[in-house]
Amino acid sequence: MSERTTIFSIYDDREKEIRQIMTEVYEALKEKGYNPINQIVGYILSEDPTYITTYQNARSKIRKVDRDDLLQTLVKSYLDQK
């Protein structure tokens, strides 16, 4: 009897989590009337959390993501790499 082995990657799960967090942060910034792209870029460049609104816990959510992990996920997504 042959059973298939399922391979799980914690990196895939982490990337999904980062994407979810970024989507939620983007929406919170948009709802508050900010330019979400400019605010997120400002945060990434400076790591100053005040670029991100506290509305809907966006600031605390984005601070859970290491900036290097965030940049890696963004570059992979932009280049459509897995």
pLDDT tens by residue, 2-11: 677 665 555 6
What is residue 8's predicted lDDT score, i.e. its pLDDT?
54
Angstrom distance (rounded) from CA 5 to CA 71: 32
User: pLDDT tens across 40-80, in order?
Assistant: 999 999 999 999 999 999 999 999 999 999 999 999 989 98
Do residues 72 and 19 touch, judged by C-beta distance below 8 A?
no
Global pTM reads 0.81
Looking at the predicted structure, is the pLDDT value of residue 82 above 80?
A: no
* Nearest Cα to Cα of residue 58 among 8, 23, 82, 15: 23
Angstrom distance (rounded) from CA 9 to CA 12: 5
* Nearest Cα to Cα of residue 30 among 55, 47, 13: 55
Angstrom distance (rounded) from CA 71 to CA 58: 18
User: For the chain, what are the domain ranges?
Assistant: 11-78
